[in-house]
């Protein structure tokens, strides 16, 4: 398994930047729940072993790394709500969550490595968009792990409030269980109404009852 390294961070340091934050988000695809972002400033002298794209790690590996990352890095985690996702669209809401996470770092970073191919609008900090960054940069990988574990915990909590949708297992993604539950149990306040499967169910109900 190819793991990310610190070459992008070192390149930024060679340009004179001192505090480099990796930034990533989790939760673009789900039908329910917030989108969550994390920003991570690593101490490159004590990089945690096993850092990788959070999707390539087991839940147990992520949980172990979360503890290690917190002890060795400055971390900030932020969210954009379902209402903000529906109002802005998922890309802009993802960027909003990213910028909220970056804004929580104190002291502030002076350079950002951001996962993806687009940078957030109105960015005031020098930054580099890194496609598949969570597999290339240790800082982005750390951010992806922190965002993933934080959002999964939220969805487990929401699953207790709204049983039947399987959020404790699918984290709100459109699995067969979740889709069937939407049809049988209906739409909750935590569902993204701008997403087609949810919108279609709402529209069908409105058409039938209207």
Q: List, for residues 106-120, the tens digit of each pLDDT value.
A: 999 999 999 999 999
Q: What is the pLDDT of residue 202?
A: 87
Query: What residues are designated binding site for a divalent metal cation?
Result: 24-25, 115
Determine if the pTM surpasses 0.85: yes
Which percentage of the chain shows pLDDT scores above 90? 91
Query: What residues are designated binding site?
Result: 24-25, 115
Average pLDDT over the chain, rounded to whole?
Answer: 94
Domains and CATH numbers, the chain: 7-150 (3.30.420.10)
Q: Return the H-helix or E-strand segment holding 119.
A: none
Tell me the β-bridge partners of 39.
23, 76
Q: What is the pLDDT of residue 1?
A: 54
């Amino acid at each position: 398994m190819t793991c990310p390294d610190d070459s992008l961070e070192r390149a930024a340091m060679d340009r004179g930047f001192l505090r480099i934050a990796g930034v990533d988000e989790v939760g673009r695809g789900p039908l329910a729940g917030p989108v969550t972002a994390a920003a991570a400033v690593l101490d490159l002298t004590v990089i945690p072993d096993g850092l990788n794209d959070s999707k390539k790690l087991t839940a147990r590996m992520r949980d172990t790394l979360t503890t290690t990352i917190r002890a060795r890095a400055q971390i900030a985690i932020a969210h954009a709500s379902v209402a903000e996702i529906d109002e802005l669209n998922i890309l802009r809401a993802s960027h909003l969550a990213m910028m909220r996470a970056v804004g929580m770092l104190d002291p502030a970073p002076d350079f950002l490595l951001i996962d993806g191919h687009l940078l957030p609008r109105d960015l005031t900090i020098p930054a580099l968009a890194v496609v598949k960054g969570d597999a290339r940069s240790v800082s982005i990988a750390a951010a992806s792990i922190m965002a993933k574990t934080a959002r999964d915990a939220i969805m487990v909590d929401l699953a207790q409030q709204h049983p039947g949708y399987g959020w404790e297992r699918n984290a709100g993604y459109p699995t067969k269980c979740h889709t069937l539950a939407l049809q049988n149990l209906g739409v909750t306040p935590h569902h993204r109404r701008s997403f087609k499967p949810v919108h279609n169910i709402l529209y069908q109900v409105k058409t039938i009852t209207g």
